[in-house]
Structures are given as C-alpha cells and as structure tokens.
Structure 1
Amino acid sequence: MTPADTGAPTAVGAAASDAPEVPDTADARVAPGGPGYRRMSFALFLAGVATFALLYSTQALLPLISGDLGVTAGDASWTVAAATGGLALFVLPMSALSERYGRRTVMTASLAVAVTVGLLVPFAPSLPVLVALRAVQGAALAGLPASATAYLAEEVTPKALVTAIGLFVAGNSVGGMSGRVITGWVAQEWGWRVAVGVIGVVAVGCAVAFRLLLPRPRHFTPGSLRPRVLARTVRAHLADPLLRRLYAIGALFMTVFGGVYTVIGYRLTGAPFALPQGIVGSIFLVYLVGTVSASTAGRLVGQLGRRGALYLAGGTTAAGLLLSLADSLPLVLLGLVLITAGFFAGHAVASSAVSRTATHGRAQASALYQSAYYIGSSAGSTVGATAFHAGGWGGTVGVGLLAVLGVVSITLLGTRAARRGAAAASVPA
C-alpha cells in the first residue's frame, strides 16, 4: 500500500521488524505454492486459533460460572459480551496503530497482552472482576483481526485473498472449537477456573509459534497516526454503500452465532437432554464444519458469485435454526452443523469482500467490519440469553431468524443496486 493509498505522507521510523524488504510491486506478492505462503498461512491460522480460544473461553462454561458465582444466565453472559465488546471498541484504534507501526508488530503485542490476561482470568474472585478482565482481554485481541486481514491484502495476490482469509477464519473456528471442547472436559473434572487456565497456556504456545513463523512484511508502507487522516479514511469507508452492507451482514451473522453458542450449553445441560459438561463441550466439534466451509469460501464465490454465496450461507443458517427447535438430539446437532457452516461461509465471504473493496486504508476498512462483527457478537450473546430466559430456546431461535432475514434483505438490496448499475452502464452516452 502506497502513501497515496492512506492519504498520508510516508512516516519515518517505523518499527524495524516491519520495515519493507523489497519494493511494493504486485508481481512480488505471495501466491499459493509460492515461497513463504504455507508458513504465512499457518502463522495466521495459529493467531486465529488463539484469538477465538481466548475470546470465547468462558462461553461453554456459563452454566458452571452461574452456579459457582450465584448469577443468572444473563449475568454470566457478560463474560462473553465484555470480551467481544472490548474488541469491538478497540479494533479501530488498533488498526490505526498497525498502519503506523506495522501489522506484525501490533499483532504480536496484542497476543502478548491477551495471553497474559488469560493467565489471570482463573483467579478472578467475583463476577465484576471476571467481566473486567475479559473486557481488557477483548480490547487486547482487537489488534489481531483487522491487522491480519490487512496484512494478507498487502502480502498475498488478489486472486488468492479469499482463500487466504478463509484459512485465517478457519483458524478462528478451530480455536473456538478446541477452546470449548477442552474447557468442557477439563471443567467437568476440575472446574471452570482450571479450564480457562488451560486455554491460557494453549494460547501462549500459539502466540510464540505465530511470532516465530510469520514472515516479515514485504509490502507494508507506514502511514500516519494523525486523527484527521484517520477520520477522513473512516468517513470514506462509511460513505461506501457496498462496505456499509458488508458491515451490516457481518454484524447480523455474528448475532445469530453469538446467541446460539452462548445459550446452547444451558439448553443441553437442562431438560430434556441433561447432558454432562464434558459432552456439552464436545458438541463444539461441529466447529470443524466451519473450518471446512470457511476455507472453501473462495470456490463458493467462484461458482455462485459473492451475493449468491451470501444467499446460500443465509439459507443454510436459517435451516439450521429451524432444525434445532426439535427435542431430538440428532436434529439439534444437525441444526448446529448447518448454523456453523452457514455462519463461517458468510463471514469469510463478507470479510474478504471488504478487503477487496477497500482501495485505501485497508486496516481501517477491516477494522470497521470487525467492529460491526463483534458488536453483533455482544448483541447476540446478551439478547440471545435474555430471549432464552424469557421464552426458552424458541426465543433464541426467533432472534436468530430475524438476523438471517436481515442478511438476506441487505444482500437483495445489493443485488438490485448491481442490476441498476449494470443497466446504467449499458445505456449509450
């Protein structure tokens, strides 16, 4: 990205670890099979694992936290909402730091702080302290998502971008799955505090490997931290109708996902299923479906186009929500599979479209998407838990279906706008 891309002059004295090694030419970007591609992909995959494992480390443990601290499901859900809310609030400032000091530097610092807080979370003496620590942890993790997608947009060839970001999102799904499965079985034997401590140790290993494996950026050009420049870039992104639609789609998809996976533990540990905590944690193995759907999002877009892929993702998610209403464990599991596949496919398509659409200030464009995405997660966690308390699982499903309806409606607006644009372009001057 050139200085002209950010609207600011080139800054001097960027962090040495992120100094560009070669001139920024598109021909030199990494492609699948090229030198460093696997190393880069695996490093960011591990970053995705650590991010989601830490961010949602308490989600599968909410029934145990409720019992141990004597709080309701809605109160316990704030241990999830605080983390995702902290990320949503700080992702834009963190993206600005990554424009100045480099993507790799900011991602490394963010992981270091997040894993340190993760080792303190098990010792929280009360719910307010636990929620505060989780908010700090979420704010620290804010340096990962936007910086990672901006890093890939600069270092990977455009044709490989959807696949590369899909692999990062796949790391998110593996982190979310492994975090919940591990915490479920560990908590069943030793309690929720030991379980979140184990996740903290796993995240430390991922953070160290990430820093050792991630290649130095070759195409990063430092930008400016001037608030006026940042505000101008943000306004330009928010003025783009396509980006606004993508931000809304990301928020709505995550509203579904956050609500379902915040409440599912309460449903499966209660009647008529009454499953033990370890089995409930293992339910999150369905995240593997998300790993596959996210990593194949590039092929899906190639076959159906971006909007076609979003329609399919929304329809799959809605079908899963409806199936999950049954009081049959196999049907509930099938519903979770469809919800997970639809969500991760939709997220990968929307987030990669943001990176391709933004021609300048890619970190800010991605940050705005991530902010909307995690606001959706916080809303889904709290609204989904409240709806469950008021109307049972059907209330949570109702919230999810409304969000899916929003995704389909916004995508339909995009389809109509594209048709109008094509019709206008076909009219002779």
Structure 2
Amino acid sequence: MQFTETGSPAYRRILMSMLLGSLVTFAILYSPQTLIATFAQQFQIPPSTASLIISFATVTLAVSMLFVSMLSNAWGRKKMMALSLFITSVLAIISSFSWNFHILLAVRLLEGISLAGFPAIAMTYLSEEISPRSIGRVMGVYVGGTAIGGFAGRVIISAFTDLFSWQVAFLVLGLVSLVCSSIFWYYLPESRNFRRSEISFQRWLSGFRIGFTNKRLLGLYGCGFLLLGVYVTMFNYISYPLSKPPYELSQTWIGLLFIFQLVGSWSSFMFGKWTERYSRVTLMIWAIIMLLGGAIITLLGNLLLLVVGITVFALGFFAGHTIASGWIGAISPPGGKAYASSLYLLFYYTGSSLVGWLGGLFLASLGWSGVILMIGGLVLLVAALLLQIARPQPAQANS
C-alpha cells in the first residue's frame, strides 16, 4: 500500500479537509442544543419534547452508520463523505424555513441520516490512507475538529438567534457549511488504497461479524460507549449545581462552559501526536486519571475548582476518544475497517443517549454527588476494559 506520510502536501490537504468535515458535521449536529428553551417557549412544548431536536438526529445518525459502510465500499470514501456534507448543509438551510416543530423534527431526522456518511467513513479513510506511524496524530486533528465544530455551531446559532431569529441562524449555519463542504470536496485527495466492491448484504453481514468477534474491538466499543456517556452526563447536568447555591450562575454563564470543548480539541491534537511516541495503553491510563480527577474536583464546592474540574474532565474525554478511535483502525483487519469504525460510533452515540438518561436518575435521587458517583464507576469500568484490550493477543497490532 502507498500511504500518505507526515509533512507531504497530500497529508496537509487531508488534515485541512478532515477539520472542515468535522466542523460541518458537529456544528450542525449539536448547534440546536442552545435553543431548546427557545423552542419550548415558541412552540409551547415541554423542554423534554424540545430536547428531541438533538435526540432525533443522534439516534438516526447512530443507526444509519451501520449501513453507510456498505455503501462506501461500493461508492468510494471521498464521494460518500462529500455527499454527506453537501446534503446535510442543504437540509440545514431547509430547516430554517420550518414553520412548526414537527416539520423541524422531520428535517432533523433526515439530517441524522445524512450526517452518518462523514463520521463513519472519515475514520476508515484515515486508517486506509495515512501511514500507521502518523494515524494517531491525524485522528487527533479529526477528533479536535469535532470539538471545535460543536462549539462553533453553538456560537453561530446563539449569536444570530440573539441578533435576528433562530431561522436566520440556521440559514447562516447552512450556508457556511455549504462553503466548507465545497472546500472539502476540492481539497481532499482521492483514495489510493481503497478497493471498490459491489453492494452485498452477505458481505455486509460478514464485515460486522468480524467486528463482533474480535475481543479487543469489543473492548474499544465499550470504551466509546462509556466515554461519550459520562461526558454527556457531566455537561447535561452540570447546570443544576451551578444554578443553585453557592454558585447561582445565570444561564448565559453556564452556556459559556462549552468553551472548554476548545480545550478538549487541544487534548485531541496532543494525545494524537503522542501516540507516535508512547503506547496507547499508557496514554489511555492518563485519560482515565484525568476523567476521574476532574469529576472528583467538581465536588469540592469552590467555583474556581469546579471550572478546573470540568476542564480536566474535558481533557480526559477528548484524549480517551482520540486514542480509542485511532486504535480501532490500528487493530481491525483491512477488509473490516469500515465496519469496525461504524460499530465503534454506533456504541459511542448510543452511550450518549443511554448513559446521559441514566445520569438524570442519579441526579434526581442522590443529587450532584450521585452523578459523580455514577461517572466514577463508569470510568473505572473503562479501566477494566483497558486491561482486556491491553492483554497480549496473537499477531498483536501496535498498542
């Protein structure tokens, strides 16, 4: 295989393209999160119903990724990702013309389906095209882009909603995304190591069977499930202690906490780079320590320490996700990389929904300390899975 090496023009084009694709995907996916209260007020619906604006997209995204891998094997990696970005951008523009909440939810459902084409295939494209020595660094750029995209989307939506309306905000986001999608298509190099195959349901089943029979891959799926689950739990419910004594912060200040996603992007870049020098096991241990330490610090009752705690926690999450997602490509067989990536992301987004919901039960019964107790237990479970992943295997890949 002819891999793309660090420092080459093609390498720089791949980095820029992946950053743009991540920006579009995660800006559109998470931007409505800041408007849940606005939708509840405008459409006269409960907040729980308004929150479906996020859930509809993430659920259909997770399920759709199971099928995207089969299509990409027949259509090609670049074509699939570009089509995903273009369709999603157009749907974001269409959503700005929604006149009731049901229409808006229908568009978000379609966005979830179209969004699946980028994250599921991006990991596969990178693992096929980038030299194994550099895959960790590039995966760090990709994961960092998801953090920047999520933050940028929330900022654009919030600012233009305050200045004009949420419809104008969605229109602007869609137009910006369309421009970024065009640049992505122009700059991303064509696949050199991709081998086209016909759409085959039998091959699709065989690919996922491979993804489910490798114990190390199963452990990484579990890590993804737990990592995003505890991260979403932390930021879903952190507003409850912050809005009450002794903090009593306004919603505006609480919303600014999402700026720590930018700190997380730095963590992704650095830990991705460090996978070229240190073992993934060692780096994942540090990610687990940061997750546990950051969660515990939020219990200390001081606002400055709480900010430090959630910052350290965000650093740990993005480090762990960068390591785990890059590890998938390193240990999955050549013919099963697309399927393994899709399964990882399926578990990843399912964890967001299930663990995030479970955190609300702990909050209701035990308060914030109950949430941290749950998070701590699940992070220790990540450590247990790491022991299983790190166990020597026949023909062991780089770890």
Q: CA deviation at 1:64?
A: 3.2
Q: Which residue is 2:339 aligned to?
A: 364
Task: Note the C-alpha offset of 1:321.
Answer: 1.9
**Pick aligned residue for 2:20 from 18, 22, 46:** 46
Partner Cα distance (2:74, 2:168) in 1: 38
Alignment deviations for residues 368-415 of structure 1 (CA, whole Å, 9 cap, x no partner): 111111111222443345554565544543443332122112112334
Which secondary structure does the structure 1 equivalent of 2:6 belong to? coil
- Distance in structure 1 (CA, Å) of the matches to 2:198 and 2:267: 37
The counterpart of 2:389, out of the listed 380, 401, 414, is: 414
Alignment correspondent of 1:171: 145
The match for 1:375 is 350
Match of 1:322 among 284, 296, 310: 296
8 Å CA contact 1:112–1:207 kept in 2: the answer is yes
Q: Is the 8 A contact 2:210 2:336 kept in 1?
A: no
* Contact 2:19/2:141 (8 A) holds in 1: yes
| Structure 1 stretches lacking a partner, 5+ long | 1-25, 423-429
Whether the aligned pair in 2 keeps the contact of 1:320 and 1:338 (CA below 8 Å) is: yes
**Residues 120 and 267 (structure 1), Cα distance of their counterparts in 2 relative to 1, 3 Å cut:** farther
Aligned residue number for residue 271 of structure 2: 297
* Secondary structure in 1 matching 2:194: coil
Q: Per the alignment, in what secondary structure is the counterpart of residue 296 of structure 1? A: helix
Give the structure-1-normalised TM-score: 0.84
Q: State the match for 1:12 in structure 2.
A: none
Alignment of 1:300-315 (within 5 A): 300-302=274-276, 304-315=278-289
Match of 1:82 in 2: 56
Deviations 1:10-36 (A, max 9, x none): xxxxxxxxxxxxxxxx3x321111131
Amino acid at match of 2:380: L
Task: Give the conservation status (yes or no) of the 8 Å contact 2:297–2:308.
Answer: yes
Contact 2:133 2:276 survives alignment (8 Å): no
1:388/1:336 Cα in 2 relative to 1: closer, same or farther (>3 Å)? same
Identify if the C-alpha distance between structure 1 residues 373 and 65 changes in structure 2 by more than 3 Å, giving closer, same or farther.
Answer: same
Contact preservation (8 Å) 1:110, 1:144: yes
Amino acid of the structure 2 residue aligned with 1:247:
Y
Q: Distance in 1 between matches of 2:310 and 2:136?
A: 25
The secondary structure found in structure 2 opposite 1:221 is coil
Q: Which amino acid aligns with 1:155?
A: E
Cα distance in 1, alignment partners of residues 253 and 352 from structure 2: 24
In structure 2, do the counterparts of structure 1 residues 193 and 320 end up closer, same or farther at CA, with 3 Å as the change threshold? farther
Distance 2:39 2:296 in 1: 29
Task: Report the equivalent of 2:109.
Answer: 135
Deviation of the 1:146 alpha carbon: 2.0
Q: Which amino acid aligns with 1:120?
A: I
Q: 1:212 to 1:252 in 2, by over 3 A?
A: same
Shift in Å at residue 193 of structure 1? 4.4
Deviations 1:162-218 (A, max 9, x none): 111111111111101212233334444445444444333332222122112111222
For normalisation by structure 2, the TM-score amounts to 0.90
**SS across alignment from 2:4:** coil
Shift of 1:161: 0.9
**Paired residue secondary structure (1:108):** helix
Could you tell me which of 380, 384, 387 is aligned with 1:405? 380
1:286 CA displacement: 1.2
Contact 2:89 2:178 in 1 (8 A): yes
- Partners of 1:409 and 1:178 lie apart in 2 by 35
Question: Aligned letter for 1:113?
Answer: I
Aligned partner of 2:217 among 243, 252, 264: 243
- One-letter code aligned to 1:404: V
Note the C-alpha offset of 1:280. 3.7
Residue 13 of structure 1 corresponds to none
Q: 1:218 to 1:82 in 2, by over 3 A?
A: same
Q: Equivalent pairs: percent with the same residue?
A: 31
Give the Å deviation of 1:275.
4.4
Q: Contact 1:184/1:279 (CA < 8 Å) preserved in 2?
A: no
CA contact (8 A) 1:185 1:279 kept: no
> Which structure 2 residue ranges, 5 or more long, are not aligned?
none
The number of equivalent residue pairs is 394
2:344 is equivalent to residue 344 of structure 1: no
State the AA in 2 paired with 1:378. Answer: S
